[in-house]
Amino acid sequence: PQGSEEAKAFVNAFLKRSMPKMKDEAIQDILARKAVVLEHYSKKKTKQKQRKAKGFTAKQRREMRLFEIEPEQRRYSIFLPLHELWKQYIRDLCHGLKPDTQPHMIQGKLLKADLHGAIVTVTKSKCPSYVGITGIILQEFKHVFKIITKEDKLKVVPKLNNVFSLEIDGFISYIYGSKFQLRASERSAKKFKLKGTIDL
């Protein structure tokens, strides 16, 4: 171990190299009275805050009419290929809809599946004018479905107080709209109760 004299000599030599502009007397004065602040020090890097990219507000989306379907595009025949794609998507999701497939398994998959392109029918409703509406789901929002009917009419059907049915390869599934008020992107993480609910 180094002695105290060697330690002092090392410190003095180090300070002379670190503060070459200062005289020996000034260095000794600093050592005797206060802490030494070396001239050479590393600057702390300031972290730049990452700005999150802001999307459009709901008002801006309405003004830009991003979700509007043009009248000339509101034709049932245009969206039939979308329905065929949806059926293939559900078959792949359920690993093939075989006669011995458990109905509750298909029901669970359908509740979390994307319904854009599905043909649905309003089977029960508190508003009688909605009962019997059948068509392809073009858009799904948190509270409503936008459905194109065979008569090329775009219907906006609320989920609340309505029961919907959809059929694929002989399997019929019922959707209770009052329990289904979620965006399509939020449904995949939600756990649904498969027992029926009387909500009308």
Would 48 be classed as within a structural domain? no
Measured distance CA(107)–CA(25) in Å, rounded? 88
Q: DSSP state, 20? A: T
Query: What number is the average pLDDT over the span 49-69?
Result: 76
Would 66 be classed as within a structural domain? no
Q: Are residues 17 and 89 in the same domain?
A: no
Which of 140, 175, 176, 144 has the alpha carbon at shortest distance from 157?
Answer: 144
Query: What number is the average pLDDT over the span 73-81?
Result: 92
Would 194 be classed as within a structural domain? no
pLDDT computed for residue 79 by the predictor: 93
Query: What number is the average pLDDT over the span 77-95?
Result: 90
Which of 192, 175, 170 has the alpha carbon at shortest distance from 97?
Answer: 170
Would 198 be classed as within a structural domain? no
Measured distance CA(89)–CA(113) in Å, rounded? 9
Q: Are residues 88 and 173 in the same domain?
A: yes
Q: Are residues 107 and 177 in the same domain?
A: yes
CATH of the domain at 122: 2.30.30.210
Domain count, the chain: 2
Query: What number is the average pLDDT over the span 78-86?
Result: 93
Measured distance CA(50)–CA(53) in Å, rounded? 9
Would 44 be classed as within a structural domain? no
Would 19 be classed as within a structural domain? yes
Query: What number is the average pLDDT over the span 64-93?
Result: 88
Is it the case that residue 53 has pLDDT exceeding 80? Answer: no
Measured distance CA(5)–CA(107) in Å, rounded? 85
Q: DSSP state, 142? A: S
Q: Are residues 13 and 81 in the same domain?
A: no
Query: What number is the average pLDDT over the span 91-112?
Result: 78
pLDDT computed for residue 158 by the predictor: 93
Would 61 be classed as within a structural domain? no
| Domain boundaries, position 106 | 71-189
Would 173 be classed as within a structural domain? yes
Is it the case that residue 40 has pLDDT exceeding 60? Answer: no
pLDDT computed for residue 148 by the predictor: 94
Greater confidence (199 vs 9) lies with: 9
Measured distance CA(163)–CA(187) in Å, rounded? 17
pLDDT computed for residue 18 by the predictor: 77
CB atoms within 10 A of CB 79: 20
